[in-house]
Structure 1
Amino acid sequence: MVIDKKINAASVRMKSLDPLDRCLELLHFGFRGLTVEADAFLGAQGLSRVHHRILYIIARAEKINIGELTSTLGVSKQAIHRPLTHLFERELVCYTRQPERHRYKLLALTEQGEALEHQATELERETLRQAFAHTDGPGREAWTAVMLALAERLN
């Protein structure tokens, strides 16, 4: 089943320069659609998408230091410094020192950080649930296969 609906998310009329442009647009606008409600929630909290990405990774890492966090996110220590400092100041993230490696800070979410991360992520999960309700098992498997193939390019 091929679905070809027009997307009205672009504020300008766009022409296709290549057969894969439609896929790129769907990926771009699809991601924006996935995150729009979470981003609005985060914005009301004075936070952004990058803050959520940091909280999301820390919440799921058993033990993670700043170097591992930057590597996982694919950003530099300089790029993560400001948003991570903001999360420390807001008391959403805390750290402990590793006894055997005192220079390393092990990051963790505070209770408040856990609650905020959960709320933002749940908004995205609900959006995915609603989107997946429009397809069947093979459609979900195909979507997962494409996303895995794209993610594997990072390795």
Structure 2
Amino acid sequence: MKSLDLLDQGLELLHFGFRGLTVKADEFLATQGLSRVHHRILYVIARSDNINVGELSATLGVSKQAVHRPLTHLFERSLVCYTRVPERHRFKLLALTELGQALEHQASELERCALRQALANTDPQGQKAWTVVMEALSENLN
């Protein structure tokens, strides 16, 4: 590809680096009839106590409508369950089932392995610099 801007190489590295990070997890998820969207939902629920659908969609940065279909699929597959809050009956507090926990762990471990291998190729200063850049980019979400 030809570069149209000085930062194009950085953009390409982010794009292809992310693909490298997720490729094995995506392949595993496909064998389960799931996608990266399902994994992101499982990932967030696994790390959140008492999260409801609205908070899940806000965390993912998508609408409730965008979360509805994959979340319904996860309910149907018995990977996610919910409880209702008695004083707020419309709220569903989401949690992973044991099966959901196992699947989330396996998919996330594939990504952690890719990240672990990539970070092993640089020294602590390079790892720190990478963290600083990623934190700066994530601040754009706020």
Task: Give the TM-score normalised by structure 2.
Answer: 0.99
Alignment of 1:132-143 (within 5 A): 132-143=119-130
Superposition deviation, residue 122 in structure 1: 0.3
Pair member with larger Rg? 1
The alignment of Structure 1 onto Structure 2 pairs a total of residues equal to 142
Residue among 54, 78, 83 paired with 1:67: 54
Superposition deviation, residue 102 in structure 1: 1.1
What is aligned with 1:41?
28
Return the alpha-carbon distance in structure 2 between the equivalents of residues 99 and 78 of structure 1: 24
Aligned residues with identical type, % of pairs: 77
Runs of 4+ aligned residues of structure 1 deviating over 2 Å after TM superposition are: none
Counterpart residue type for residue 29 of structure 1 = F
Return the alpha-carbon distance in structure 2 between the equivalents of residues 103 and 78 of structure 1: 16
Return the alpha-carbon distance in structure 1 between the equivalents of residues 50 and 90 of structure 2: 15
Task: Give the TM-score normalised by structure 1.
Answer: 0.91
More helix by share: 2
Counterpart residue type for residue 45 of structure 1 = Q
Stretches of structure 1 that go unaligned for 5 or more consecutive residues are: 1-13
2:114 corresponds to 1:114: no
Superposition deviation, residue 44 in structure 1: 0.4
Stretches of structure 2 that go unaligned for 5 or more consecutive residues are: none
What is aligned with 1:95?
82
Return the alpha-carbon distance in structure 2 between the equivalents of residues 91 and 40 of structure 1: 21
More strand by share: 2
Secondary structure of 1:103 counterpart: strand
- Write the deviation string for residues 12-66 of structure 1: whole angstroms up to 9, x where unpaired: xx10000000000000000000000000000000000000000000000011000
Counterpart residue type for residue 121 of structure 2 = H
What is aligned with 1:56?
43
Secondary structure of 1:102 counterpart: strand
Return the alpha-carbon distance in structure 2 between the equivalents of residues 127 and 79 of structure 1: 28
